[in-house]
Chain A
Amino acid sequence: MERKGFFGNWGGAYIPEVLHQTFEELNDEFLRCKNDPAFWQEYVELMSTYSCRPTPLTYAENLSRHFGGARIYIKREDLNHTGAHKANNVMGQGLLVRRMGKKRVIAETGAGQHGLATATMAAKFGFACTIYMGEEDVRRQRPNVFWMEKMGATVVPVTNGSRTLKDAINEAFRDWVTNVDDTHYVFGTVCGPHPFPEMVGWFQSIIGLEAAEQILKYHGRMPVRIFACVGGGSNAMGIFKRFIPEAGVELVGVEAGGHGLATGLHATRLSGSDASPGVAQGYKTMFLQDGDGQMKETHSVAAGLDYVGVSPILSDLWEKGRVRFESATDGEVMAALDLTMKKEGIIPALESAHAFVQAFKEAPQLTPADAIIINMSGRGDKDIFTIAHAFDDPSWKDFIIKRGLEYSRNK
């Protein structure tokens, strides 16, 4: 028998005692919701009126022709309210928080998408909201910080450790142990202590449920492969879950290759050989850590993939050989992004573009009888500063310089 909260060898709830009681309550409430068909119905209703569900499955005709192999379909999570799949999890947890009667929510955020989604949910449901974000990410993702603050959230830059996602998670936990009575921690991905991996995966599974119906409608049969980027793994689990029992569907997770595996500057846990089993941030999984168990610095052009751990559910599926893992470098990501914009007029987030890279590598080896799905977890226009910077775009730079001068003159 599997241990409670474990997926094979991975997962668990490694939490300080002060949180024990609140986890008991959370587990109970989650179980009640899961067993109550009316709750799922309420959730789907909310997502189809407040967000854009079901999100479309777009046939990428030009890209398919360009590669001359598989028919490429794109699941458009970018068309969710707030621009990414993160809304699925956050609105679900919002309903849960309302049922539990808590009045304040906190969250960590890397790219800012989860923070933005949480701030949005808090505004809608009337919760107080604090978002923890690594100082480095605040710098990289200024537009999201602006919107979070505009929606009434307090954004706290985290200056500990590597000043990225993992440090924001630690800081959110510190807030939670202090304010546990009235606060719920809206964990952003399928990581962390049980029941978060299962719960976030459950809310995100709406992606795959829709995609399965859509692909059968458009293509008449199941896809041969599905590609999703993997940071913590919530968009990947979201689209994969429905297809796990479909033996003919190969599931491919794409991690951040950063500057390349050989440089050490990356965030590949399952596709490389640099990670090892560990326990941190409340759960057991494959971590990028040194021989003593100290977490390493990670690197990716995409803040949302820049993380030391990975979902325990994905570690299990990796170990069992059900999901294949690959990686894409920063350079490959920019090229795939460029091609997708030019061919389809679609702007994937830097995170999502990792999945496009691998799909583009494999599409030519397949035939038009084969369909593949790329999960486009989010939209890229929120990354305008990062993307413009990465493209070293001269007219954008000129604009920023002029705007900067204008602001400093008016000071």
Chain B
Amino acid sequence: MQLEQQLRRSLEKKEILLMTHIVLGYPSFEVNREVIRQMVENGVDCIEMQIPFSEPMADGPVIVRANQEAIENGTRVSDCLAFAAEMTASHDIPFLFMTYYNIVFGYGEKAFFERARECGIKGLIVPDLPPEEGESFLRLAAENEIAPILIFAPTSSDERMRVLASHGRGFIYCVARRGVTGVKSVIGAEVIEYLGRCRQATAMPLAVGFGIQDRDDVSALIGKADMAVIGSQTIRLVDEKGAAAVGPFIAGLR
């Protein structure tokens, strides 16, 4: 089943979906495995798994450090693909890859999409690949039935949003504010107005990420968006309290 249909089916039962984020190989695949198990058992609807890159330009300090340590620990792209295959076989929710374009480019776009498809990956988020540079990427995504997730930002004009939406599949990732990941976002009037513009530009589900950290943030998005994205916060939690703390945290978000 395609990603958007899968999310729509979940949305029939829930007011808002949850997507979580992990950095593959950080602190280890073993911990990744346990964290994902806890996330799924506590009702997460979708998981983006970041393949680490040495130059994570759009990420904030927490995820930057996780990327760096994952690479220092010896995490290879091939390990990430194998781990993804294991996760999609074990859990019945959609899994996405998030990474930077050089990882896909280095692997070979065609080979990457084919392998990601074999691994059961449903979507791909690449924050440094605007559609203008992604002609072959978007074509291969369509051929392999992997949703290319495009990103809206508060700086995107209405017209730009429509262009982006015309290339995106699955859902639109709405960046809640200017800046990098991991800094608290306040879901105030400005964000609500922006999400209204996002809604006008596309019929696809809207996910909202960057600085969504707690139950209040998630409930503030109900009715305004379809999915809340929790990123740096679970990495912080695992760093501080270990993998076992993830389950209760996720359960308390809705």
Contact surface of A with B, Cβ cutoff 8 Å: 4, 12-22, 160-161, 166, 170, 173-174, 177-181, 277-282, 287, 289, 291-295
Inter-chain CA distance A15–B101, complex, in Å, is: 10
B121 interface hit (Cβ, 8 Å): no
Inter-chain CA distance A282–B102, complex, in Å, is: 10
A280/B100 in contact, CB under 8 A: yes
Inter-chain CA distance A177–B180, complex, in Å, is: 7
Of all chain A residues, the one with the shortest Cβ separation from B105 is A279
Output the least CB separation between A78 and chain B (Å). 32
Leading 3 A-B pairs by shortest Cβ distance: A293-B106, A178-B179, A18-B153
Output the least CB separation between B71 and chain A (Å). 6
Inter-chain CA distance A178–B179, complex, in Å, is: 4
B164 interface hit (Cβ, 8 Å): yes
B178 interface hit (Cβ, 8 Å): yes
B102/A18 in contact, CB under 8 A: no
A161/B55 in contact, CB under 8 A: yes
Contact surface of B with A, Cβ cutoff 8 Å: 53-58, 60, 64-65, 68, 71, 76-77, 100-103, 105-107, 127-130, 132-133, 150-157, 160, 164, 175, 178-180
A280/B153 in contact, CB under 8 A: no
**What are 25 A-B contacts with C-beta separation under 8 Å?**
A13-B130, A14-B101, A17-B130, A17-B164, A18-B154, A18-B175, A20-B153, A20-B155, A22-B155, A161-B55, A170-B57, A174-B58, A174-B60, A174-B179, A174-B180, A178-B179, A179-B178, A278-B102, A278-B105, A279-B105, A281-B57, A292-B76, A292-B106, A293-B53, A293-B107
Most buried by B among A181, A277, A281, A292: A292
Which residues of B lie under 8 Å from residue A293 when comparing CB positions? 53, 77, 102-103, 105-107
**Residue from B64, B102, B105, B151 in contact with A16 in the complex, judged by beta carbons closer than 8 Å:** B151
B77/A16 in contact, CB under 8 A: no
B152/A161 in contact, CB under 8 A: no
Q: How many A-B residue pairs have CB under 8 A?
A: 108
- Do A178 and B178 contact each other (CB < 8 Å), given the known contacts A20-B153, A173-B57? yes
Which residues of A lie under 8 Å from residue B71 when comparing CB positions? 294
**Residue from A14, A22, A166, A277 in contact with B128 in the complex, judged by beta carbons closer than 8 Å:** A14
A15/B128 in contact, CB under 8 A: yes
Which residues of A lie under 8 Å from residue B128 when comparing CB positions? 14-16, 279, 282
Inter-chain CA distance A170–B156, complex, in Å, is: 22
Output the least CB separation between A55 and chain B (Å). 35
A292/B130 in contact, CB under 8 A: no
A170/B55 in contact, CB under 8 A: yes
A14/B68 in contact, CB under 8 A: no
B133/A21 in contact, CB under 8 A: no
A177/B58 in contact, CB under 8 A: yes
Output the least CB separation between B56 and chain A (Å). 8
- Do A16 and B58 contact each other (CB < 8 Å), given the known contacts A21-B157, A280-B102? yes
Which residues of B lie under 8 Å from residue A180 when comparing CB positions? 155, 178
B132/A16 in contact, CB under 8 A: no
Output the least CB separation between A203 and chain B (Å). 24
Output the least CB separation between B169 and chain A (Å). 16
Output the least CB separation between A301 and chain B (Å). 23
B68/A160 in contact, CB under 8 A: yes
**Residue from A14, A15, A17 in contact with B175 in the complex, judged by beta carbons closer than 8 Å:** A17
B178/A289 in contact, CB under 8 A: no
Which residues of A lie under 8 Å from residue B153 when comparing CB positions? 16-18, 20
Of all chain B residues, the one with the shortest Cβ separation from A178 is B179
Which residues of B lie under 8 Å from residue A178 when comparing CB positions? 178-180
Of all chain A residues, the one with the shortest Cβ separation from B71 is A294
Which residues of B lie under 8 Å from residue A170 when comparing CB positions? 55-57
A12/B55 in contact, CB under 8 A: no
**Residue from B53, B65, B152 in contact with A294 in the complex, judged by beta carbons closer than 8 Å:** B53
- Do A14 and B129 contact each other (CB < 8 Å), given the known contacts A280-B102, A293-B106? yes
Output the least CB separation between A183 and chain B (Å). 10
